[in-house]
Amino acid sequence: ITYKTGTALPAKAICSLAKEHQIPTLVDGAHTVGMFDLDLHDLDCDFYSGSGHKWQCGPGATGILYVRDNGNRLNEYWSDRENPLWLINSSLSHADYLGKQIQMQYIGNDNYPAKQALADSCKMWDEIGRDRIQDRILTLSDQWKTSLQDVLPHAKMFSPNVEGLTSGLTTFNPFYDVTNEEILTEFRDRLRE
């Protein structure tokens, strides 16, 4: 999901095309974790990163990193050279028996309370149902975009309202003339009140 327009990009199709051409994939899912019901195995990316504190509502400075099959698919892409997945600054870089996912988690002192809080928020989302959360977010997004067009018909909408491309993020410009400094200054000042 792009943060500037809220467009949900076709990540699965992009990953499939990349795989055909032996290009490793890393999906930046900063806004997707917690907003959408993700199936990382179905997405078939090599790596997936996501924020724990945005739509997942975990504590700040938390996130997820998914590494498919311990990064072994990289060996298929570059069979003529050593696996390029190096562990830098990991206090467990020597512990190959643990697997890449665990080795990548430990850099310096760990923040166990933050990790537990993120795990708890993930558990709560699972109990509610990630599919239900996604449906609710997309319903509210559609209602908001429709209402916005009714209230501000002149507003320039940057976010798509097309099934498969929409998300919970909506960006728009409410002004007729974006070069009118007087209106922009008034808007800024009213926001600060």
Q: Tell me: the pLDDT tens digits for 87-103? A: 666 667 677 777 777 77
Last residue of a domain, one of 101, 130, 159: 130
| In a shared domain, residues 113 and 29 | yes
- The CA-atom distances, in angstroms, between 109 and each of 73, 90, 91, 112, 120 are 30, 11, 9, 9, 21
Q: Is 189 exposed, middle or buried (0-12, 13-18, 19+ CB in 10 A)?
A: exposed
* Integer Cα distance of 189 and 183 in angstroms: 10
Question: In angstroms, rounded to a whole number, what is the distance separating the alpha carbons of residues 23 and 1?
Answer: 21
- Do both 100 and 178 map to the same domain? no
Q: Among 76, 97, 130, give the residue marking a domain's end.
A: 130
3-class DSSP state for residue 26? strand
Is pLDDT of 124 > 90? yes
Q: Is 80 exceeded by the pLDDT of residue 76?
A: no
CATH of the domain at 114: 3.40.640.10
Query: By residue range, what is the domain housing residue 35?
Result: 11-130
What is the pLDDT at residue 84? 59
| 21 and 101 inside one domain | yes
Q: Which of 130, 150, 180 is the last residue of a domain?
A: 130
pLDDT tens by residue, 33-46: 999 999 999 999 99
pLDDT at residue 71, rounded to an integer: 78
Q: How far apart are CA 45 and CA 31, in angstroms?
A: 17
Question: How confident is the model over 47-67, as pLDDT tens digits?
Answer: 999 999 999 999 999 999 898
| Domain match, 117 and 49 both | yes
Rounded to an integer, what distance in angstroms lies between the CA atom of residue 75 and that of residue 13?
Answer: 22
Residue 6 lies in a domain: no
Whether 139 and 124 map to the same domain: the answer is no
Q: Are 65 and 49 in contact (CB under 8 A)?
A: yes
Residue 161 lies in a domain: yes
Task: Tell me, rounded to whole angstroms, the distance of Cα 36 from its chain centroid.
Answer: 9
Residue 4 within a domain: no
